[in-house]
Amino acid sequence: MNKDLDYSLLKVLLLLNKHRSLKKVALILGKTEGTISKYLSKLRAQIGDPLFVRTREGLEPTPALTLLLPSLEEGLNVIDSAVFSNGSLSLTNYAKTIRVALQSSIISIYSYEIYKAINKEFPNSFISLELWSDSTEQNILDGKIDIGVHFIHGERKKDIYQSKLINTSMVVGVSPDNPINTWKEASLAPHIFFKINDSHHSRRYFVEHCLKNGIALDYKVNTDSFDTAMALVSEEGMAVVGLKRLLTAVGLKIIEIPEELQVDISLVSCIKLLNRGHPLQVKLKELIKGVIK
């Protein structure tokens, strides 16, 4: 066996043994089937064995791999136990960079409090709070982002696990001195279309729902910057639709939207499906939820 064995690929080997399919493992890891095949070729060269043979039922481990698997699993458990103890994250010993991607309204309102909460629990980690971008979903799947916070969306990649952070309703927000006080008045006001999803997810669910109910809001500007939206509300007398919890947090006057026009744009944490029970992601979600609640 090669002494330069790439230990980062060993979990791929265990997944292949479990699922017996390059395609299934590729879907789980958010990779292409060709990439998993390259990983397997690299492992074969490093270990010096074919590892799997193809059968009608799928991949079957070779006798050499069958003998090796118990030791591999035990070795990986030993490595994990250096950071995790009894399934709980060893916070004071964790020193890796923690990367969190935040939607623009969240980064404007809560980023400092999120930083403080994470830093308190992970004092040895470098913390990176980043603006959600078009590449964030893939970065989560590639392990480059530990957790993201955005609005729920049905078009996200199926290997992204979305978990609700808060229960709140949709409202219209206007400046405190704006004379608008009712939904009827708000529906006639000039509106900001606040882009809440990246370019991969273009559906405008609330707009579509309003149109189905015969309501066409007067959108004057489109922005994905929460700070710009707040400036337009304050200086131009515009209205913006958003989550009650967020718009209340920045001191806007709240106009309730009728129940029949409500759509689910809940705030959610976004993590790699494979990591949904991982102690790091569980702890990060807990900390972020504690800030936003």
Residue 146 and residue 273 in one domain: yes
Let me know whether 185 and 51 are in one domain. Answer: no
Is 252 within a domain?
A: yes
Domain count, the chain: 3
Residue 251 lies in a domain: yes
For residue 18, what pLDDT is reported? 85
Q: What is the pLDDT of residue 15?
A: 87
Contact present, 96 and 125 (Cβ < 8 Å): yes
Q: Which has more confidence, 168 or 216? A: 216
Does 148 lie in the same domain as 182? no
My answer on whether 76 and 102 are in the same domain is no
Look at residues 25, 57, 82 and tell me which one is the last residue of a structural domain.
Answer: 82
DSSP secondary structure code for residue 177 in this structure? T
In a domain, residue 2? The reply is no
* Span 111-128, average pLDDT: 94
Rounded Cα distance, 28 and 119, in Å: 30
Q: Which of 47, 82, 117 is the last residue of a domain?
A: 82
Render pLDDT for 26-59 as a digit per residue (tens, 0 to 9).
888 888 999 999 999 999 988 889 999 999 888 9
**Length of the chain counted residue by residue:** 293
In a domain? residue 1 = no
Determine the Cα–Cα distance for residues 62 and 264; give it in Å rounded to an integer.
50
**pLDDT reading at 284 higher than 90:** yes
User: Do residue 93 and residue 77 come from a single domain?
Assistant: no
Tell me how crowded residue 46 is: count the other CB atoms within 10 A of its CB.
Answer: 17
Residues 191 and 221 both lie in one domain:
yes
Q: Do 135 and 274 lie in a common domain? A: yes
On whether both 139 and 93 belong to a single domain, the answer is: yes
Q: Which domain, by its residues, includes 15?
A: 7-82
Is 189 found in the same domain as 228?
A: yes
Which pLDDT tens digit goes with each residue over 75-116? 776 666 555 555 556 666 788 899 999 999 999 999 999 999
| SS3 per-residue string spanning 207-224 | HHHHHHCCCCCEEEEEEC
Residue 184: the pLDDT is 94
**Closest to 110 (Cα-Cα) out of 230, 251, 250:** 250
Q: Is the pLDDT of residue 200 over 60?
A: no
Residue appearing with tokens 């979600």 = 285
My answer on whether 143 and 281 are in the same domain is yes
Tokens of 230: 């707040």
**Angle, vertex CA 84, rays to CA 284 and CA 131, nearest 5:** 25
Q: Which residues are within 8 A (CB) of 106 and not within 5 positions of it... i.e. 6 or more apart?
A: 114, 149, 150, 246, 267, 292
Task: Tell me which of 205 and 255 has the higher pLDDT.
Answer: 255
Residue 132 has pLDDT above 70, yes or no: yes
Buried b (16+ CB within 10 A) or exposed e, 254-280: ebebeeebeeebbbbbbbbbbbeeebb
> What is the rounded CA–CA span in Å between residue 254 and residue 244?
7
User: Greater confidence, 184 or 198?
Assistant: 184
Q: Which pLDDT belongs to residue 208?
A: 86
Q: What is the average per-residue pLDDT within 133-143?
A: 91
**For residue 46, what pLDDT is reported?**
87
Average pLDDT over residues 158-168: 88
